[in-house]
Amino acid sequence: MERRSFLAAAMAQAAVAVPAPKYRIVSSYQPQPAAGMPGPYRGRVVTVHAASSIDEATERVDVPTVAEMIRRGITSLTGDRDSRDSWARFFNSTDVVGIKVNCSGAPGAMSMPDVVAEIARNLIAVGVKAANVIIHERNEDQMVAANYQSAIPTGVQVHSAAKHTGYDPKTYVDCSFFGEDDTRSNMVRMVTEEFTKIINVPNMKDHSASGVTGCLKNIAYGEFHNVARSHQSSKTNTLSFIGTLANVEPLRSRTVLHIMDGLRGVWHAGPFSRDKRFRFYPKQMKFGTDPVAMDRLLIDVIEAKRKAEGAISVWDRSPERLNARQFQTDPNTNQFVREPGHIEYASGLGLGVYDIKQINHTEIRL
Amino acid sequence: MIPILLFIAALPRIHDGKPEPAGYVKVPPPVVRIRANQAGPTGIPWIDANGWRFERGLRKAFYATLPRGAAALAAAEAYAYGVDALIQPDEADRPSLAKMLEYLESIDQPAMPLMANIGVIDDGSAIAGEVMNMLGRRNLLYRVVSKPDPKLTVTVSPTGAEARNPSTFAARIREKVTDDKRLVRLFNASTVVARLTGDGTRARLHLINYSGRPITDLRVRVLGGYGRVQPFPKDVVTEAGAVEFTVPELATYMVVDLEPARRAVSLHSKSDFDLTADPAAAQWRNVPAVHIDRKFMNGVLPGQPTEVRSRWTAGNLYLLFSCPFDELHLKPEPQTESDTNKLWDWDVAEVFLGSEFDHIGHYREFEVSPRGEWVDLDIDRDHPGNEQGIGWNSGFVVKARVDQARKIWYGEMRIPFASLGVKSARAGVELRTGFYRCAGTPPNRWFAAWSATGQRSFHGPHAFGRLRLE
């Protein structure tokens, strides 16, 4: 074992051992047996690589390549020959499907509109009404910046929680992290009252607080409000808060599929980085129903890139590296003591498989 | 939580004169200011509010030469604290100030005592003033006391070194009170200050928004057994000792009036009995009645009220409606073998019953007509996709009888507790309950409620009363 990975493992252990804040979860929704996370393909991840998926110079996405990546990814995950059979395992004509994108760094870093559009087309192909496909994010300005309308099929809806239905006052996690006045984080009301299913489409990114932001972070901090309160000064509670939020019903049961968009990513200063210097192009997509297993592999992608760039590890907890002022420009500084251990923590909640040896990972190269 | 000071203050008035009014103390304009990293550890906006000045005894306030946009807020602030105030508005603010004064006049009523968790022994120092400012800013309800009051959760004397950082001191007081015991909590808003008054039965919550822009979906939690919330906000939840509701939009100021739920009792019967639809029958004699005597929007309904009586056994809940009428509005071709959909378009007595206090939008509806038609429905206002509607069958039975001579019709119901989600019927069990009546022939149709819903529908579970098994 390299010293670096040994340190990472030790730090993850230490991080997980810290007692979690006291959470009070309020929800009237019951778990749906066998539904949602980690779903029918626990511990299984399919990664599809395609060098032609995006042009690094223009950042233009090659739509036919993306369509083929999705077809290969979903069929490999389910074992079906016809991708319609694969999609039909998850969705039918009665569903109202929320596609949870990530566009907090739009337009430079986001779930790509062409990827999201292709997912919507596949849903429609198995009978989901276009009007019942709802691409959503919390903040309106981010959705405007991402401009999903430019790519999606006619009839598909684009909404922000802020402008559409707001948040569900009866479904929330109550916790005081730092003595803040408002101790509640409420679930997006579309999740509780409109969606029957959710497809989670995160973007591969480094994250200043959680280490990386993949499936878990996108579905947790992205489907609840008042979450930034979990960070203060150099301390962040993402370690336990991300998994706790992702575990709340009905979010857990309704999130049935994760498709991680790794055509373009961010290797430092995430999640909002606008600095093109920190973008990179993994040119891949990951497919699964197990967000923990997918995020575990995401750590390796971000770590490998950071290592190649000579940047400190996402596991680095050194106090001397903390420098919020320089974080946006210096990849050898941290804004917070990062908590990539949130992924293992979520595994402990039953959300999926963290142990790399237990993950069944198939890689396909187009 | 006990009466302290009762002020009868005039509504705020406009002061157009040049000379400063005698006997009034100038106060700063109420405003919000963004001061990054200076507003305490949560980074919430900085508010200049005068509540602490009023709580420590300033009773005549002069809001002099207010900046544009502040006049309506100043009037609201003064009114909420029961202060005699004179206001010098910016000319551009006169319309919004007039509108605010009109609102204040419409809601004006004798002031009730201030309710608080915290007693503050005020030595008149600047630090004590700032501590009160910070308590108010955090909606930690306090009142000034001269000595510790055991009826308050905590009494503080902010004079020592521990109070030198008033914000931190307020945070420590909050920890001592604990959030669960706070009389008021606000969520989804960082610029709203609350003040609560009450007389032990009713309460009035003042909500002052200092942000200068409307706040949507303000969530409010008030400790106390209030069952009725006006003006009827949405998403009401009542749980152990508290009521929660959402104010859809708060502009500058509003009051929310809270009242106890209407209450009815059901008397125990050792054994089940046959339905008679007769209040003179042995099982109904001497059973007290409650009255369906309100218009469903609110206000007392003239005329003889509908009476409702109730009894219960281990397995069933019984209800007897006595319904005075002038004329009957009956559905042609009645049938009593199965549900009659849209029975509510004709003369009916209705009861809505819910056993879930943390999910009040889920309840069951039962109706009986003068000729014994019936319908029962499963309702879920929060999750309409989950409700079974008219497809649900409770197994309840009815009997009806019309006394043409006395112009009263009677409807009796026997409802299995199992259908209501009551696993073990016993004395002390309470059900969330609404009693209603639809009557009259169009265009003289009328609708009555035991507990008014304040909306053009009976389906307002926020307004349900309580039926207690005794």
Tokens of B48: 């200049």
Of B375, B377, B393, the closest CA to residue B336 belongs to: B375
Question: How wide is the angle at C-alpha A17 spanned by C-alphas A16 and A18, nearest 5°?
Answer: 95
Pairing of β B465-469 and β B430-439: antiparallel
Residues of B in contact with A184 (CB under 8 A): 187-188, 219
Whether A277 contacts chain B with CB within 8 A: no
Q: What is the pLDDT of residues A257-291, one digit of tens each?
A: 999 999 999 999 999 888 999 999 999 999 999 99
When divided into structural domains, chain A yields a total of: 1
Distance from CA of A167 to the nearest CA of B (A): 8
Residues of chain B with Cβ-Cβ distance to A163 below 8 Å are: none
* B216 touches A at CB < 8 Å: yes
pLDDT value of residue B42: 45
CA distance A231 to B364: 44
Which domain range does residue A191 map to?
Answer: 3-365
The one-character DSSP state at B139 is T
What is the pLDDT at residue B232?
66
Query: Helix, strand, coil shares of chain B as percentages rounded to 5?
Result: 15, 35, 50
Closest Cα in chain B, distance from residue A132 (Å): 15
Q: Give contacts of A 64-103 with B, CB under 8 A.
A: none
Which residue in A233, A298, A226, A266 sits closest to A105, CA to CA? A266
Q: What is the pLDDT of residue B6?
A: 43
Chain B residues whose beta carbon lies within 8 Å of the beta carbon of residue A180: 41-42
Please tell me the predicted confidence (pLDDT) of residue A5.
Answer: 38
- pLDDT, one tens digit per residue, over B11-48 is 999 998 778 899 999 999 998 876 544 433 345 778 89
The reply to whether residue A167 touches residue B42, judged by beta carbons under 8 angstroms, is no
Q: Residue A17 pLDDT > 60, yes or no? A: no
- Mutation target vs B (from A132, A165, A180, A181; most B CBs, 10 A cutoff): A181
- Total Cβ atoms within 10 A of residue A216: 32
pLDDT score of A25 more than 60? yes
Q: Which residues of A touch B237 (CB under 8 A)?
A: 169-170
**pLDDT(A76) > 90:** yes
Q: What is the pLDDT of residue B34?
A: 63
- Residue range B263-469, CATH number: 2.60.40.1190
Query: Does B178 reach chain A within 8 Å, measured CB to CB?
Result: no
Is the model's pLDDT at A8 over the cut of 70? Answer: no
| The predicted structure's pLDDT at residue B385 | 73
Compare all CA atoms of chain A with the CA of B171 and give the residue at the minimum distance. A179
Taking the Cβ of residue A324 and every Cβ of chain B, the question of whether any pair is shorter than 8 Å is answered with no
Asked if B382's CB is within 8 angstroms of A28's CB, the reply is yes
**Contact with chain B for residue A319, Cβ under 8 A:** no
pLDDT digits (tens, 9 = 90+) for A159-205: 999 888 899 999 999 999 998 989 999 999 999 999 999 999 999 99
Residue A3 has pLDDT above 90, yes or no: no
Q: With an 8 Å Cβ cutoff, is A203 touching chain B?
A: no
- Side chain identity at residue B439, one-letter code: A
Six token digits for residue B97: 């100030």
The pLDDT value recorded for residue A357 is 97
Residues of A in contact with B358 (CB under 8 A): 28
Task: Using an 8 Å CB-CB cutoff, list chain B residues near A28.
Answer: 358-359, 382
Backbone phi and psi for residue A146, each to the nearest 5 degrees, phi listed first:
-75, -30
The complex scores an ipTM of 0.84
Residue with the two structure tokens 């910016």: B90
pLDDT for res B386 = 75
Q: Say which residues have a Cβ less than 8 Å from residue B246's Cβ, sequence separation at least 6.
A: A169, B217, B218, B219, B220, B233, B234, B235
Across the interface, whether the CB atoms of A170 and B235 are under 8 A apart is answered yes
Closest CA to A55 of A70, A67, A69, A66: A66
A320 and chain B: CB distance < 8 Å anywhere? no
**Chain B residues 419-448 within an 8 A CB cutoff of chain A:** none
Chain B environment of A229 (Cβ under 8 Å):
42
pLDDT, position A218: 98
Is-contact A193 A168, C-beta < 8 A? yes
Q: Please indicate if any CB of chain A lies within 8 Å of the CB of B249.
A: no
Task: Give me the residues paired with residue B446 across strands.
Answer: B439
Q: What integer is the mean pLDDT of A131-142?
A: 95
Dump pLDDT digits (tens) for B136-163: 999 999 999 999 988 899 999 998 888 8
Considering only CA atoms, which of B470, B352, B466 is closest in space to residue B420? B352
CB atoms inside a 10 Å sphere around CB B71: 30
Contact B216 A232 (CB under 8 A): no
Q: Determine the distance in angstroms separating the CA of B263 from the nearest CA of chain A, rounded to an integer.
A: 26
A12 — pLDDT class (breaks 50, 70, 90): very low
pLDDT of B300: 82
How much of chain A exceeds pLDDT 90, in percent? 89
Residue segments in chain B with a per-residue pLDDT below the cut of 70: 1-9, 34-43, 232, 240
Could you write out the DSSP letters of every residue in B350-415? EEEEE--TT-TTEEEEEEE-TTS-EEEEEEESS-TTT--BTT-----EEEEEEETTTTEEEEEEEE
> What tens digit of pLDDT does each residue of A335-350 get?
999 999 999 999 999 9
Answer whether A166 touches B (CB < 8 Å).
yes
> Domain locations in chain B?
13-107, 118-181, 263-469
Contacts of residue B5, defined as CB under 8 A and 6 or more positions apart, other chains included, come to B113, B114
Picking from A24, A138, A176, A182 by the largest number of B CB atoms within 10 A of its own CB, the best residue to mutate is A182
Task: Identify the three-state secondary structure at position B63.
Answer: strand
